[in-house]
Amino acid sequence: MSETGRIIGLHLGLLALLFALQFVLPAYHHGNLARIMVLASYAIGYNILFGYTGLLSLGHALFFAAGMYGLSLTIQHAGFTAAPALLTGLIVGAAVSAALALLALRTAGVAFMIVTLMFAQAGYLTILYFAEYTRGDEGFVIQAAQRVLWGFDLSQPTNRYFAAFILFATCLLVSLTLVRTPFGRTLIAIRENEERVRMLGYNTFAHKLAAMIISGTISASAGAAYGLLFGYAGASFASVQYSIFPLLWVLLGGAGTVLGPFVGTLFMFYLIDLSSGITTAYMLIAGVTLVVLTLFAPQGLVGELRRRVWRWLP
């Protein structure tokens, strides 16, 4: 089989497996997997900027929250139905990521991390400040009646799973296509050596700007979908923790691999889920995992797999 054939086969195979799983999984894991697919879409968005372009952002919660609040606030206060609210979430996410990109891309390295962190923190505090509309930390519930998209009631488990699946499949295929186009290849080149790419005549700023907007918009779509599927919006989704989670998932799964975000999210979710039966200290597990990863497997699970077995993995 050719390399392209193998790549397409592997990814479509995963999607087919996820599609088939909904008929056999027990209710508890069925719900979990829907949540994992939405969060993995968030991680896929993060991976485009971090894994492929080499820009470590500590402020992606801002984009996730932009999508979530773009959707939920318009439903709650402007009386939008689900479809236009979802679109609003995406547009807000794209606008916020473009604005932050124009500012933050003037810096690099550690300064880039701190700038994204600071603006995300300002966004989080802004949500708290307008508690009259957002209800701050406590958040608000989106009623089941308002979560009907094109006639499908997304508070039903089957519809919810299917919606999460469509979101995840779209994000995965977009990400797979993107990294195989010349544009995606240029991003990887920027990650490896930005100076050289600039010397070869590419406009690296425009490429990074586009990567950040795509990454932010995918993250925002995950945020909007999370609000729509699980019916809740709260300020904690904009906190620093939610900027660090996708970093953790991507690092765990493998930065700069298409499947890494999903594998990392799945692994982390069940690690916490299983260990919370034994201890409540899931943050300790997250902390230890982060440190161990930076020490021993900077490539992540899928990254190690690519290094050792399947060298053709995208």
Partner 1 sequence: MELGPYILLASLEGAVTAAVLALTAVGLSLVFGVMRVVNIAHGEFFMLGAVIAWYVAQSFGGHPALGFALALVVAPLFVGVIAVVADMTILKRIEYDPERTIVATIGLLYMIQQLTLMTYGPEARPVEAPFNQRIALPWFEFGDNGLEFYYPWGLSTTSYKLAVIGAAAAVLAGVWVLMTRSRAGLLMRATQADREMALAFGIPVERVYALVFGMGAGLAAFAAVLIVPIQQAHYLMGADPLLLSFIVVIIGGLGSLPGTVLAAVLIGLSDGIISVFFSPTLAKILATLLVGLVLVFRPQGLFGTRSA
Give the footprint of partner 1 on this chain (CB under 8 A).
Answer: 56, 58, 103-104, 106-107, 109-111, 113-115, 118-119, 121-122, 125-126, 128-129, 244, 247, 251, 281, 283-284, 286-291, 293-295, 298
Decide whether 111 or 166 has the Cβ nearer to partner 1. 111
CB of 73 to partner 1, least distance (A): 18
Tell which residue, 295, 310, 298, 255, has the closest CA to residue 47: 255
CB of 128 to partner 1, least distance (A): 6
Decide whether 227 or 261 has the Cβ nearer to partner 1. 261
Decide whether 176 or 247 has the Cβ nearer to partner 1. 247
Decide whether 174 or 240 has the Cβ nearer to partner 1. 240
CB of 120 to partner 1, least distance (A): 9
DSSP, residue by residue, the chain: --HHHHHHHHHHHHHHHHHHHHHHS-HHHHHHHHHHHHHHHHHHHHHIIIIIT----S-HHHHHHHHHHHHHHHHHHH---HHHHHHHHHHHHHHHHHHHHHHHTTS-HHHHHHHHHHHHHHHHHHHHHTHHHH-GGG-EEPPGGG-EETTEETTSHHHHHHHHHHHHHHHHHHHHHHHHSHHHHHHHHHHH-HHHHHHTT--HHHHHHHHHHHHHHHHHHHHHHHHHHH-EE-GGGGSHHHHHHHHHHHHHH-TT-SSHHHHHHHHHHHHHHHHTTT-S-HHHHHHHHHHHHHHH-TTHHHHHHHHHT-TT--
CB of 56 to partner 1, least distance (A): 5
Decide whether 286 or 302 has the Cβ nearer to partner 1. 286
CB of 136 to partner 1, least distance (A): 10
Decide whether 158 or 294 has the Cβ nearer to partner 1. 294
CB of 4 to partner 1, least distance (A): 33
Decide whether 79 or 109 has the Cβ nearer to partner 1. 109
8 A C-beta contact, residue 220 and residue 92: yes
CB of 78 to partner 1, least distance (A): 24
